[in-house]
Amino acid sequence: MSRFLGCGCPQRPLYEVEPCVWAGRSNGWEAVPELTDEFRANSLDLRKWFPYSPFSFGTKPGLFVPSNVSVSDQKAWLTPKREMLPDDAPGGYEGWTTGALVSQYKQLYGYFECSFKASDTALASRFMLVGKRKKKRMSVDVFSYSAHEENKELVFMDALFATKDEDGKAVEAKHPLKKIILDMPDHPVTVGIDWTPDHLKTYVDGHVIRNLENKYWHSPMQIGFFLETIPDRFGVPNENQLKRRAAMEIYYVRTWQRTSSVRQERISSLDGEL
């Protein structure tokens, strides 16, 4: 099995770096500091991030818990725990707590890039764009990975959307599940998505692995990282897996927008759909 080639993007602060040349960017772009973080502080920047999901409690049985989200060693960590939940926990959640990290700002179009190590367990490590339009959820599953023993070298991605079209008619679109082979989770992976009015193009370590026509995604979305239990697809971690590196480690998030793009806007946790 061969590892994808590295993209060669400099590991320097955002303001010293142009967007990666392999993604076709040079002039005409500007950084979006509200949606960028190198995680170099000693704690999570709560001006930029929610340490939970405004949209979901998590995929059962794993409950998103803010205390499982932390920043140290110049990384953000989403750490799972095998633990009892309090009596007032939402129904159906039991035995597991996990983590979610969602931006407080949303953006319409741009280039979004992150570098992270996935959890070396059956939990799913996910990088997504998430949002809603007219109270309807919409999302793009940019990159999802689980170290489930039967699928350890496969990366799974869905592109999901639910909203109303311009005529007010309810539509749902689900693009086919895509699988790629990648040597994970021993190495960090660099993932980027170029979101324009015309396409959503996903890069993994410099390779285009998906290019979707943009028929539906025309409302601002937030950046989201999720460490989730998805038992119907991957099962749940066993004790041996939990002795391995169980956390999802996020090295950086960097966002650029074309200079003519709509500016980002901040949201409130009350905008979610819990």
Backbone angles phi, psi at 192, to 5 degrees: -135, 150
Q: Tell me whether residue 201 is in a domain.
A: yes
- Residues 239, 31: Cα–Cα separation, whole Å: 42
Measured at the CA of 51, the angle between CA 50 and CA 52, to 5 degrees, comes to 90
Residue 218 placed within a domain: yes
Q: Which single residue is written with the structure tokens 């026509």?
A: 213
Whether 69 is covered by a domain: the verdict is yes
Give residue-wise pLDDT tens across range 102-150: 999 999 999 999 999 999 888 999 999 998 766 677 888 898 888 876 6
pLDDT digits (tens, 9 = 90+) for 55-74: 899 999 999 999 999 999 99
22-43: average pLDDT: 79
Structural domains of the chain, count:
1
Q: Are 105 and 48 in contact (CB under 8 A)?
A: yes
In a domain, 3, yes or no: no
Cβ(226)–Cβ(123) below 8 Å: no
The answer to whether residue 88 sits within a structural domain is: no
Q: What is the DSSP letter of 241?
A: H
Is residue 274 situated within a structural domain? no
Q: SS3 of 95, please?
A: coil
CATH number of the domain bearing residue 69: 2.60.120.200
Is residue 273 included in any domain, yes or no?
no
> What is the span of the domain harbouring residue 77?
14-82+94-268
In a domain, 124, yes or no: yes
Burial of residue 212, with CB atoms counted within 10 A of its CB: 0-12 exposed, 13-18 middle, 19 or more buried: middle
